[in-house]
Amino acid sequence: MKGPYEGESDELDPDAPPTEEELRAAEELRAALADSTRPNEEAALARAVVLAHAPRSLSPSDNEALVARALDERPAKVVSIAVARTRARRPTWAAFVLGGGASAVAMAAAFLVFQTAAPEPVAAVDVPMHARSSQPLFREPFPSRGPGSARIDRIASARAGDLRENMFARWQVGEPR
Amino acid sequence: MFASALTAFAHPAPLPPWAALWSTMLPAVAEADASKDLEPERLAVVMAQRGDRAALGKLLVSHGPALYRSVLLPRLGSEAAAKDALAETYAKVVERIGQFTWQGVGVYPWLRMIAMRVALDMLRARGRVVFWSEDDLASELDRAEEETPVDARLLALTDERAAREKVKAALARINPRYARAIELRLLEEQPREEVARLLGVTPATFDVLLHRALAALRKDLGEGREQGMPREKAARGSP
């Protein structure tokens, strides 16, 4: 007896012998259901049906991380601008030598110049970047198919920038000009 | 008499549909009434609108799990996509909390609308048939904009029930044997060999049956989408 479902007319018998192509597709589906990283549209549909029927909960830690990211609780990025300024003010020994008379006045003047231009204490606190999600880099929805190289490039570029700044912070030097 | 009462208690008669629906709603309604007093939430909203990020964070931490589980995950059908959508929802809430107007039912209905719009954008960008189509979600959004906002827990329960009903309706449109294969293997998560035994086939044949079942479901969902209307409406021939 046929049920009340639609589409009976153009449908093949569910238990009809499979074609080679169907056997391959069934095997691919089985593998994709076991391994969610394998792309397979039927497996994706299967997961979507399962999640619609019995959605899972979000872990509190994941939720708190997403909230923290949205509120941008990461400490403000402080790059050693003070250090860079300090380096720019360091005395040049050539100028010191050029003024190189032996007079006490000159030495005193040079000493004064040296004192005023001495390195200032570093006021800024260097806070290394922490590993984090790439989601804030993308405001637009990301298509699940097609080339993703532009996205990867942007992630790689942002991470390279973070690494560079961490190194500058550790070495107590400013950003290159 | 006592024995018959005990039997009736132990084996209650099935509830009529309206009573069953009400009985599932009742705990949520009771909780909504008893619980809270939405005054703390209203104060948190006021503080958040004045720039108190901790207050805004508490609101998001409190309502995010329901947005994820009841709104985003069923509609997007992928945990990664749902997390991305939740992050996007939070970002929009942070931007727009100043625009929110308190209507006496809490902030959840407003958050849900934002989450649904984010999910709709993601479905549109995805460009392929998944379980929940952009047309389904667009018509849900239209309805949500017209409806009177209700309590958060009730809304979440309603959303989850609607998702389950959508699965049932989709399975009712395909061959019953296909529907059974999907129910046993995917919804009930029974082992492949056990499902094959229940359906009277070998495990290898069951793999083919499940492949055909999902292909039939995809075709059904795709047909509904091509008609430019939610699949349930298309089946009923609604305008």
Considering only residues B184 and A102, tell me which one the structure prediction assigns the higher pLDDT: B184
Q: Lowest-pLDDT range, A63-67, A76-80, B181-185?
A: A76-80
In a domain, A108, yes or no: yes
The residue in chain A having the minimum alpha-carbon distance to the alpha carbon of residue B222 is A45
DSSP codes joined into one string, chain B: -HHHHHHHHHSPPPPPHHHHHHHHHHHHHHHHHHT--SHHHHHHHHHHHTT-HHHHHHHHHHHHHHIIIIIIHHHH--HHHHHHHHHHHHHHHHHHGGG----SS-SHHHHHHHHHHHHHHHHHHH-S--SS-HHHHHHHHHHHHHSPP--HHHHHHHHHHHHHHHHHHHHHTS-HHHHHHHIIIIIS---HHHHHHHHTS-HHHHHHHHHHHHHHHHHHHHHHHHTTS-HHHHHHT--
What's the confidence (pLDDT) of residue A175? Answer: 52
DSSP codes joined into one string, A129-159: -----SGGG--SPPPSSS--HHHHHHHHHHH
Subunit contact A44:B78, Cβ cutoff 8 A: yes
Nearest to B73 among A51, A135, A140 (CB): A51
Q: Lowest-pLDDT range, A22-31, B115-124, B151-160?
A: B151-160
Subunit contact A55:B74, Cβ cutoff 8 A: yes
Task: Spell out the domains of chain B, with CATH numbers in brackets.
Answer: 36-155 (1.10.1740.10), 173-239 (1.10.10.10)
pLDDT digits (tens, 9 = 90+) for A107-118: 565 555 555 544
Alpha carbon B4 to its chain centroid, in Å, reads 40
What's the confidence (pLDDT) of residue B135? Answer: 85
What's the confidence (pLDDT) of residue B69? Answer: 96
What's the confidence (pLDDT) of residue B211? Answer: 96
Give the A window 136-155 contacts with B, CB below 8 Å: 136, 140-145
In a domain, A92, yes or no: yes
Confidence bin at A156 (pLDDT 50/70/90): confident
* Nearest chain A Cα distance for residue B8, angstroms: 31
Subunit contact B125:A45, Cβ cutoff 8 A: no
Q: Lowest-pLDDT range, A25-39, A91-105, B78-92, B152-166?
A: A91-105
Subunit contact B87:A57, Cβ cutoff 8 A: no
In a domain, A159, yes or no: no
Q: Is B132 on the interface with A (CB under 8 A)?
A: yes
Q: Is A25 on the interface with B (CB under 8 A)?
A: yes
Alpha carbon B176 to its chain centroid, in Å, reads 24
B213 pLDDT above the threshold of 90:
yes
Subunit contact A52:B74, Cβ cutoff 8 A: yes
Q: Lowest-pLDDT range, A103-112, A153-162, B132-141, B199-208?
A: A103-112
Average pLDDT over residues B115-141: 86
* Nearest chain B Cα distance for residue A4, angstroms: 8
What's the confidence (pLDDT) of residue A140? Answer: 60
Q: What is the percent of chain A where pLDDT is above 70?
A: 43
Q: Which domain range does residue A96 map to?
A: 81-116
DSSP at A118: S
In a domain, A104, yes or no: yes
The interface predicted TM-score (ipTM) is 0.77
Rounded mean pLDDT of chain B? Answer: 82
Q: Which of B92, B130, B199 to mutate to test the interface with A (most CBs of A within 10 A)?
A: B130
Query: What is the number of other CB atoms lying within 10 angstroms of the CB of residue B220?
Result: 22
Mean pLDDT highest for which of A164-168, B11-15, B71-75? B71-75
CA-wise closest residue to B45 among B31, B62, B28: B62
What's the confidence (pLDDT) of residue B179? Answer: 96
pLDDT digits (tens, 9 = 90+) for B157-177: 999 999 999 999 999 999 999
Number of structural domains chain A divides into: 1
Confidence bin at A2 (pLDDT 50/70/90): very low
B67 pLDDT above the threshold of 70:
yes
Confidence bin at A144 (pLDDT 50/70/90): low
Average pLDDT over residues B128-149: 82
pLDDT digits (tens, 9 = 90+) for A68-81: 999 985 443 433 33
Q: Is A36 on the interface with B (CB under 8 A)?
A: no
Considering only residues B142 and B29, tell me which one the structure prediction assigns the higher pLDDT: B142
Average pLDDT over residues A48-76: 87
Confidence bin at B183 (pLDDT 50/70/90): very high
Rounded mean pLDDT of chain A? Answer: 68
Tell me the C-alpha distance between A73 and A76, whole Å.
Answer: 8
Query: Which residues does chain A have within 8 Å of residue B170's beta carbon, measured at their own beta carbons?
Result: 49
Q: Is B95 on the interface with A (CB under 8 A)?
A: no
Q: Percentages helix, strand, coil for chain A, rounded to the nearest 5?
A: 55, 0, 45
Nearest to B214 among A29, A53, A136 (CB): A29
In a domain, A112, yes or no: yes
In a domain, A167, yes or no: no
* Nearest chain A Cα distance for residue B60, angstroms: 7
A171 pLDDT above the threshold of 80:
no
